Chains A and B, each alone.
Chain A
Amino acid sequence: MMEKILEVKNLKISFRTSGGTVKAVRDISFDLEKGKTVAIVGESGSGKSVTSKAIMGILAGNSIVEGGEILYDGRDLLKISEEEMCKIRGDRISMIFQDPLSSLNPIVKIGNQLTEAMLLKNAGNRKKAKKEFDSVLALLKENCTAAENDSAAVTASVETFEKFNAEAIQMENSYNTALAAADGLQVDMDEFLFLVEKKQKIDPKAKLKEFAAVLKSIKDPFLTRDAESELQAIADKLQQVLSVCPKNTEAGLPDAVTAVLDQLKTCLETVTTRTRPDFFCIGFYKLQKPEADLSKLTVEALNAEAAQYLDEHFMKDFLTMADKGAEHSYRTALEKKNAVMADLQEAYDFFKEGKYDKKTAMEKCKAITEKVEASIDPLEIVKDSTVYTFRTSLEGALQKYFQAVVRNPKEEERYAKQTRRREALIARGRTVDWKVVPKTVYDLDELQAEITTVIQRLMERYKEYIANTGNVDFRVRSTALVEYFKGKASQMVYVVTKKMAREKAIELLEEVGIPEPHIRYYQYPFEFSGGMRQRIVIAIALAADPEILICDEPTTALDVTIQAQILELINRLKEERNLSVIFITHDLGVVANMADEIAVMYAGKIVEYGTAEDVFYDPRHPYTWALLSSMPDLETTEKLDAIPGTPPNMIYPPEGDAFAARNKYALKIDFERQPPQFAVSDTHWAATWLLHPDAPKVEPPKIITDRIARMNKAGGSNA
């Protein structure tokens, strides 16, 4: 089973407009697994963009989130504050917009737009990482002490851990600074040579002096190693060739200068492409053996030796200790979970009964959430969304319920009053040119049921936990903890200077396939063609190394060849970075190559959901049929099956299947009742009454059956 990275549950969103509330998204749920792509397909106005905007937390001001949850990393994105959302948006979840022209700032250079986010996110992350590192380590210490009863040993162990980590961080800091300087020098040099080649007017003397100064400043025992003397020699040579250097470069550079620059280039190449030292291990090695000469070994050998040394002298004991600590924390949490089950049951009954006023309910809610939060295992690295979001979910559900309790009568009153007035006017023979705004009354039973489901869901989750007690591997947990510390430590030293950001931005531009990135970096958006602009937007989206990428019709404004390139680019980046992608489009042809799973949306609901194979080779919902048959492929000669009519007005969503009015296969029941989700296979379901066992058998349109037969034949011959 894959790790679910994002879960959308029962999402309902509407918009307040002058004509009434438009129900844009009506109860949709889907999961996004790590490294997979979910495509959302539908006409404009079907609510696909609204879904993506809800995930990003950028819904328009007149939107109302009527219900549902978007769970990510133990948080409900719909309920967290804007400050918290700001840390996730763009950093962890990134978005590519439809129109590349309007999503770039026209008066800011491409380079600045690319590096902006990197520099902004930088400072906050370091402080946060430090804080998290310390708090988790303190927790571990506490738990270990409790488990071992040997506080002195634990304290000593943790202290060593802290000490050598500090050492490692110091070394890494110096290494990073030197590396940044070297990388920056490389970029500068490339740019310089490029400008010389283009016969631009620059002062080469000043440049060479600058290079020499930077070279002298690059000093780090791990980075330069054996190349240190060489670098110094080159710096000296640079000073020497200054005398033969011309005042401007219109005639090119003399051979002596080019030779030195070439030498510098190869030297920098070897330096910057070296394996990165494993500072975590080396820190310990150095702490224990301060006399050891680290410069003799190659980096690989040093890494290996340090890792082995750390493993033998420290990590073994530390892991055994951490195992115990993790187990202790787990057991305590489990006990609390066991204890809280009864409370949960009681709360469940209490809320099920339905006889409570706001004050008692809120008190009850506070009591139960405190208990539940105490039962969370703090040393669990992979956060369980259901448990972590319990408080926000329960509080949200309760608040909505009590709001409805207050608002419903008011709404009824208003409606009755307006209707009376209207009728009175009509009775007096006046022409009435206004309508009564329809009443929006919430179903109290439904809202109450929501409260209980929140509790029920947690109870089920806890039951699973308790049943699963026997097969928990604590070694996995403790190694995960160590990895966590390592990650946080490297985040602490991760300083992004302007130069580093520029270098990374140029790398990114290269990665997304923009030629001559050094020049492009300093250009404005209008100097790029449509396809190039979209590449820049993708580069900006990737700048912060997100986990989730949302693509909202990224290729609709582009033509076929560029579209194919952009799709290939997104696919490649997804593979390389293990991204999870939500891909939104109205073109099914585009989706075939991209998606692992496809959700077909119509009028704010998902009408069919399945893997790409399911949806393309075995479509079940008439809307999917209509979408597939309304686009010609290369073999199509017969008249196209256009979908008649237009999508329904979502201020008054139709009862039953929303697509029924435009559907020639519609049954009578389609106009009366909302079809449930009928499962076709484990991965495939569709919401249409045609799948009901009692429904008459209906064949998909000929254009589709023909195409599927043809595709199967072609696929068979390929395989």
Chain B
Amino acid sequence: MSMNEQNEVLLRVENLCQYFKMGRKVNKAVDNISFDIKKGEVFGLVGESGCGKTTTGRSIIKIYDITSGSIYFKGQRICAGTKSYQDAIQAARKELAELQKNGGDPARKAELEAQIEENRRELQRAKFDHQYSDREYARQLTEAVHTEYKAKLEAAKNSPRETAELKKKYKEELRVAKKTRLITKIQMIFQDPIASLNPRMTVREIISEGLVINGIRDQKYIDEKVYEILEMVGLVREHAGRYPHEFSGGQRQRIGIARSVIMKPDLLIADEPISALDVSIQAQVINLMNDLRDKLGLTILFIAHDLSVVKYFSDRIGVMYFGKMVELATSDELFAHPLHPYTKSLLSAIPLPDPRAEKNRTRITYNALAAHDYSTDLPSMREITPGHFVYCNNAEEQQYKKELGL
């Protein structure tokens, strides 16, 4: 892998917010987080249950419509929220109304009006991108097919038989290109292999469903693809005709992986793929994912709460706490120099297979209210050392730097 490729950003998440309405209250499941995933890396997302890591994954793959912020995939904005623009417009309008009542500065008035106009345009753009990003991608693909076949047809102008064949292929590929969506390049593996497989479909139907939806009708091609993938994930051809209930937990998870890998995704979101499995099976699945990553050059967003596994598997790790990203660093750096108190408490809670160490272990408790004073000095994500980000305020930044001996 070249240096250039390594630094290419595959997925960029910018100020992602995902709020859920709970009656009158609003649950800020994910609150203003930003990160990049580079091509070819495994990005780990850890945190306790309910901290928003699964929600982040689901927002990326558009299971939820995000509240605000944007997500870029391969340079194309695939998700965009509107709340930040709406808020800005509302604030500007309020000020404007006040100005009009009191007869204020006309320059400021014009400025505000321009602001509202600007935000409104942004809002429209966001709505458009969120809804039609896939169409844009499909348009690009069809255009590519058009140009390709135009040239080919031109070349085969003289043989009518060849032209007919080409035209048939052309039609087929055009249909597939029209139906292809950008989002299918992101695939997800779910936590519970039992609940995520339809019990009334055979393994073949489950695995090939994505291809069928994508418009491929060539049954032979689909079967071959399914067999190839089955063998890749360590199952055999004969399994294709069976139903999910006939498999053990580890095998079911392999089916889930096969289903997502068959779409040749660029990004794989693995949402706690091993939490529901037995210890011995866990290792099998981790090894399989490692193999696939090497073989297919996958980029993986790995969501888990088992820190030892995340450490083993990921290149970079983001730590989440109650909807906020509190620390982000390479996995070695994070484990060697944890800075945020929550990360420290998380690391101190890892159970180790070592009775002597366990007896002497002191768990660090984390209380968000007691640990930070954010009353005046407001926190934000800051880079302490290159590539190591911590959510902190000025005072804490100084303290962390001192801790690292900078």
**Do the beta carbons of A634 and B363 come within 8 Å of each other?**
no
CB <8 Å contact, A718 and B278: no
| Chain A, range 642-688, C-beta contacts under 8 Å to B | 642-644, 646
A633 within 8 A of B: yes
The CA of A438 and the CA of B366, in the complex, are separated in Å by 59
B 233-288 contacts with A by CB, 8 A: 248, 250, 278-280, 282-284, 286-287
Complex formed: what's the CA distance from A630 to B361 in Å?
23
Interface pair A564/B49, CB less than 8 Å apart: no
Task: Tell whether B231 is near chain A: CB-to-CB under 8 Å.
Answer: no
CB-based nearest B residue for A529: B50
Instruction: Tell me the bound Cα distance from A572 to B290 in angstroms.
Output: 40
Q: Are B359 and A593 in contact (CB under 8 A)?
A: yes
In the complex, A714 Cα to B353 Cα: how many Å? 13
**CB under 8 Å from chain A, chain B span 11-56:** 48-50
Looking at the assembled complex, report how far the CB atom of B312 sits from the nearest CB atom of chain A, in whole angstroms: 4
| Given A559-B305, A634-B311, A634-B350; A586-B278 close (CB under 8 Å) | yes
Size of B's binding interface in residues, CB under 8 A: 40
A633 touching B353, Cβ below 8 Å: yes
CB distance from B345 to the nearest CB of A (A): 7
**Complex CA–CA separation, A565 to B248 (angstroms):** 32
Q: Number of A interface residues at 8 Å Cβ cutoff, please give it.
A: 48
B287 touches A561 (CB 8 A): no
The answer to whether A632 and B309 touch across the interface, beta carbons within 8 angstroms, is yes
> B311–A559 contact, CB under 8 A?
no
A637 is an interface residue with CB less than 8 A from chain B? yes
* A613 contacts chain B at the CB level, 8 A cutoff: yes
Task: Please report the C-alpha to C-alpha distance between residue A627 and residue B281 in the assembled complex, in whole angstroms.
Answer: 10
Tell me, rounded to whole Å, the shortest Cβ–Cβ distance linking A96 to chain B: 18
Partner of A44, one of B278, B283, B361: B278
In whole angstroms, what is the CA distance A646 to B284 when docked? 11
B357 touches A632 (CB 8 A): no
Residues on the B chain within 8 Å of A589, using CB: 308, 350-353
Contacts of B305 in A (CB 8 A): 559-560
From the candidates A612, A613, A616, A636, name the one contacting B312 in the complex (CB within 8 A). A636
Q: Is A639 a contact partner of B287 (Cβ separation < 8 A)? A: yes
Q: Does A640 contact B (CB under 8 A)?
A: yes
In Å, the complex CA distance between A558 and B345 comes to 16
Pair B351/A642 contact, Cβ less than 8 Å: no
A640 to B312, CA, bound (A): 10
In the complex, which residue of chain B has the Cβ closest to the Cβ of A555?
Answer: B351
In this assembly, does A626 line the interface, its C-beta being within 8 Å of a C-beta of chain B?
yes
Given contacts A560-B350, A562-B48, contact A612 B283 (CB under 8 A): no
Chain A nearest CB from B148 CB (Å) reads: 42
- Determine if B349 and A563 form an interchain contact, defined as CB atoms under 8 angstroms apart: yes
Secondary structure call for the A interface: helix
From the candidates A587, A630, A711, name the one contacting B354 in the complex (CB within 8 A). Answer: A711
Note all chain A residues with C-beta closer than 8 A to B363: 564-565, 568
How many angstroms from the CA of A642 to the CA of B283 in the assembled complex? 5
Can you name the residue of chain A whose Cβ is closest to the Cβ of B306?
A560
Cβ of B346: which chain A residues have Cβ within 8 Å of it? 560-561
Are A593 and B283 neighbours in the complex by a CB distance under 8 Å? no
| Interface assignment of A65: CB less than 8 Å from any CB of chain B | no
A593 with B358: CB separation less than 8 A: yes
Given A587-B279, A593-B355, A711-B356; A561-B349 close (CB under 8 Å): yes
Contact of B353 among A558, A588, A643, A646 (CB under 8 A): A588
B189: interface (CB < 8 Å): no
Name B158-200 residues within 8 Å CB distance of A.
Answer: none
Per a CB cutoff under 8 Å, which of B280, B283, B351 touches A592? B351
Q: Does A305 contact B (CB under 8 A)?
A: no
Assess whether A590 is interfacial by the CB under 8 Å rule. Answer: yes
B335 at the interface (CB under 8 A from A): yes
**Interface assignment of A260: CB less than 8 Å from any CB of chain B:** no
Whether B279 contacts A588 by the Cβ 8 Å rule is yes
Indicate whether A714 sits within 8 Å of B308 (C-beta atoms), given known contacts A634-B350, A640-B287, A643-B283: no
Contact A630 B360 (CB under 8 A): no
- Ranked 4 nearest A-B pairs via Cβ: A630-B283, A589-B351, A632-B312, A564-B349
Residues of A at the B interface (CB closer than 8 Å) are 43-44, 529-530, 558-565, 567-568, 586-590, 592-593, 612-613, 616-617, 626-634, 636-637, 639-644, 646, 707, 711, 714-715, 718
B-side interface residues toward A, CB under 8 Å?
A: 48-50, 248, 250, 278-280, 282-284, 286-287, 290, 305-309, 311-312, 335, 345-346, 348-361, 363, 366
A-B contact pairs, 8 of them (CB 8 A): A560-B48, A560-B307, A564-B363, A586-B278, A589-B308, A632-B308, A643-B280, A715-B357
